Amino acid sequence: MDKKTRKITFTAMFTALVFLATRFLAFPGPIPPGYINLGDSVIILCAVMMGGTSAAFAGAIGASLADITYPGGIIFAPFTFVVKGIEGFVAGKIAQKGSVKSVIIAAVAGGLILVAGYFLSEWLLLPYLDKTFGMTFAITELPLNFVQAGVNSTLAVILSATLRNKVKLV
């Protein structure tokens, strides 16, 4: 298989894994329809192993599809598309330096993009679609978004340290 075909194949695989980890390893948040999940660990792992473009695609498409299929989650899908796409792209660009330090920084940056992106979406944008959202909702969800970011970043660093030199994707 040539390099371009391998990249497309593994990007599609990571997209499916992001969907599965986001949709089926999900736990309800304090205010429906919000939920926390383990999809971000796959986005960051993809960023480390495949680069920013693949991670942006996998994160945006995989996580948005999970929102569309999660009960009540469709309202988040457009924001998820943007937030997860940026998360994957930035993490991938940082991680491409190849050092353990760059992987840790990439994971932290990805987590901070997650927290900031959803905070701003819940506070400033989602109220146009549903008055349930706003500053109070965003603040209430903030601790869980930090937990999601911390757990996923830690898991991604552990997984990438385990797999990075053992598995050659592209």
CA distance 107 to 112: 9
Q: In this model, does residue 128 exceed pLDDT 90?
A: yes
Mean pLDDT across the stretch 135-141? 92
Q: Which CATH number fits domain 3-162: 1.20.1440.230, 3.10.580.10, 1.10.1760.20, 1.10.3720.10?
A: 1.10.1760.20
Q: In this model, does residue 43 exceed pLDDT 70?
A: yes
**pLDDT confidence band for 170 (50 / 70 / 90):** low
Mean pLDDT across the stretch 102-131? 96
Q: In this model, does residue 116 exceed pLDDT 90?
A: yes
Q: In this model, does residue 155 exceed pLDDT 90?
A: yes
- How does DSSP assign 108-145, residue by residue? HHHHHHHHHHHHHIIIIIGGGT-TT-SHHHHHHHHHHH
Mean pLDDT across the stretch 131-143? 92
What does pTM read for this prediction?
Answer: 0.93
Domain ranges for the chain: 3-162
Higher pLDDT, 3 or 40: 40
**pLDDT confidence band for 163 (50 / 70 / 90):** confident
**pLDDT confidence band for 19 (50 / 70 / 90):** very high
What's the confidence (pLDDT) of residue 33? 67
Q: In this model, does residue 168 exceed pLDDT 90?
A: no
What's the confidence (pLDDT) of residue 71? 86
